[in-house]
Structure formats: C-alpha cells, structure tokens
C-alpha cells in the first residue's frame, strides 16, 4: 500500500540526506587525501597541488617503508597481540558480564560498583609499571595484555546486552529442564551473543592493533616491537636524517613527507579491511548493547 508523503516529510528527508552527505564528506575527504598523498609526488603535496586525486603517481613512499626488514616483524607481533589479547579480553569480559547480568547472583551490585570504580581511578603510570616489573612481565607480550585484560565499559555494554536481549524465561526454562549453568552459558547464551561478541572483538582488536604507549613503556626487546613502534622508529629515523644529511636536505624532507602518509596507510589497512566483514554484526550489536533507561 502506497502512503502519500506530505511536504513536511519530503523536507525532513531532504535535510537528513544533506546532513548525512555532509558528514560523509567530512569523514571521507581526509581518508582519500591521505591515500592520494601516499601515492603522489611529495613535492606536489607540499606545494598544495594535490587536492583529491594523486598527482604524479608513484609508489616510492611504500618502497621506502617496506625497505625496512622490521616491518614484517612488527606486523607479526601486532597480529599475535591482537589475536591473543582479544581472546583473553573476550573470555574475561564474557564471563564477567554474564555473572553480573544474573539477578540471582549474590553481591553483583557490590562487584559492579567495585569494577566501575576502576573506570574513574587508577594507580597511575609509575605504580602500574612497578607492578608489571615486580611480577616479571617486562619484555613479554603479557605486559600489553594482562594490565588491561578487562574494559569495564565493554563489560557494561555486554552485561546490558544479556539483560535486555536474552529473556529470563529462556534461562529459567533451561534450569527447569535440568541444564547446568555451564550448559546454559555455552548452549544458550553464547549462540545468541554473536552480534555483541563481534562488537566487543572490534573494540578490543583495534585497541591492541594501535598499542603504542604501553609497548613503549614495557618493551625494550626489539624482537617484540609492535607495528606501531616500528613505524614510529621509521618516522623518527626519517626526521633525524633530515637534520643530519645537510647535503641532500631538500630530498630528505620530501622523502619524509611521503613516508609519513604511507605509514598511516600501512597501519590502517588491516583494520579497515576487517571492518566490512563484521559491519552487519557491529551495527546490530551496538543497538542491542546500548544502555537503556
């Protein structure tokens, strides 16, 4: 059945489309600019001749980046950190959120408040470093995983999902049929939680992929450097060469400008490539896991 649209509906839709298009331009232009700049002549970028599409296309910047043998080592370490760290995060967050979502769990209010306390207060950088050092985690991947093994924000989102999306009657029916809590968790709750798991995995995975400051603090063993540390090192090396090599100063500046944009793309491509595969779950999970009043 066709419903006649009023003039007000048409105006409302037009304004919405205009706003959405404007937001799209604001988000898309910087991304397209960086991609184009990484393939353009650095001189054209510095002179402002490159506006949207590559000018004097070349892949020199990427060749300069991948000349460094440590790039693949950084990729490997970052991928290991993402897989291992996200797995630990998901397991702890899933179990913690499920327990806090159960109304019959004694002390859940106190535990929720205790966990929430950590969202506003922490020991600080130096005490945390001393704790990591005292338990022997320095120069290990666990130093980047265990101190932040659970994000209370993510746990609250997942707990709210369990409370709002999994009916109590379903769990009560399983209990009446004799199912244990473990069976309820793995055969009922887990299969119904694909959407929120995809969302939380993305949150944790992106955080681990961008791991930089903690890695800078806790890692001195070069073989464990994450991609972000390797890219930082390459960029700093390029800047130092700009200052040291006075004979080819202009060429070094141009090379550093191209490397800068190429590094951004190299660090961003894996996350951008993974997002389309979980976009459907991401949108659904964010809506279902939203905190309702």
Interval 12-39: pLDDT, tens: 888 989 999 999 888 888 888 888 888 8
pLDDT of residue 18: 92
Q: How much is the pTM? A: 0.76
Half-sphere exposure of 228 (CA within 13 A, CB side): 17
pLDDT of residue 255: 63
Choose the weakest-confidence range: 51-65, 86-100, 152-166, 214-228.
51-65
- Write the DSSP symbol of residue 54: -
- pLDDT, tens digit, for every residue of 68-80? 777 888 888 988 9
Rounded to an integer, the average pLDDT of 222-248 is 69
Using alpha carbons, select from 266, 135, 145 the residue that is nearest to residue 211: 145
- Assign 139 to helix, strand or coil: coil
- pLDDT, tens digit, for every residue of 173-182? 888 888 788 8
Residue 267 to residue 205: CA distance in whole angstroms: 13
Residue 39 to residue 46: CA distance in whole angstroms: 13
Greater pLDDT, 9 or 134: 134
pLDDT of residue 90: 92
Residue 249 to residue 241: CA distance in whole angstroms: 8
pLDDT at 98 over 80: yes
What Å distances lie between residue 158 and 92, 109, 190, 194, CA to CA?
Answer: 11, 16, 12, 11
Phi, psi of 253 (to 5 degrees): -60, -45
Q: Binning pLDDT at 50, 70 and 90, where does residue 291 land?
A: very low
pLDDT at 293 over 50: no
Residue 230 to residue 73: CA distance in whole angstroms: 9
Greater pLDDT, 245 or 125: 125
For Cα atoms 267, 42, 25, give the angle at the middle one, nearest 5 degrees.
60
pLDDT at 43 over 90: no
pLDDT at 62 over 70: yes
């Amino acid at each position: 059945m066709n419903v006649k649209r009023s003039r007000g509906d048409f105006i409302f839709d037009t304004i919405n489309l205009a706003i959405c298009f404007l937001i799209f331009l604001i988000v898309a232009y910087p991304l397209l600019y960086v991609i184009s700049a990484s393939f353009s002549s650095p001189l054209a970028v510095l002179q402002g001749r490159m506006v949207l599409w590559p000018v004097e296309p070349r892949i020199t910047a990427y060749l300069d980046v991948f000349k460094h043998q440590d790039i693949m080592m950084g990729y490997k370490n970052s991928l290991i950190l993402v897989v291992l760290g996200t797995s630990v995060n998901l397991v702890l967050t899933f179990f913690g959120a499920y327990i806090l979502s159960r109304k019959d769990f004694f002390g859940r209010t106190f535990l929720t408040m205790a966990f929430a306390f950590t969202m506003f207060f922490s020991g600080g950088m130096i005490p945390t470093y001393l704790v990591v050092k005292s338990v022997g985690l320095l120069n290990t991947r666990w130093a980047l995983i265990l101190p932040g093994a659970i994000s209370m924000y993510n746990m609250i989102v997942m707990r709210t999902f369990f409370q709002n999306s999994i009916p109590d009657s379903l769990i009560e029916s399983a209990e009446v049929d004799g199912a244990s809590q473990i069976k309820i968790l793995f055969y009922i709750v887990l299969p119904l939680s694909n959407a929120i798991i995809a969302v939380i995995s993305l949150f944790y995975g992106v955080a681990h992929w961008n791991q930089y400051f903690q890695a800078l603090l806790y890692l001195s063993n070069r073989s464990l450097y994450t991609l972000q540390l390797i890219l930082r090192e390459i960029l700093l090396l390029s800047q130092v060469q700009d200052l040291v090599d006075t004979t080819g100063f202009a060429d070094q500046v141009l090379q550093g400008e191209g490397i800068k944009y190429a590094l951004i793309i190299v660090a961003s491509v894996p996350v951008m490539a993974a997002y389309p595969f979980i976009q459907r779950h991401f949108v659904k999970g964010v809506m279902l896991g939203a905190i309702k009043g």
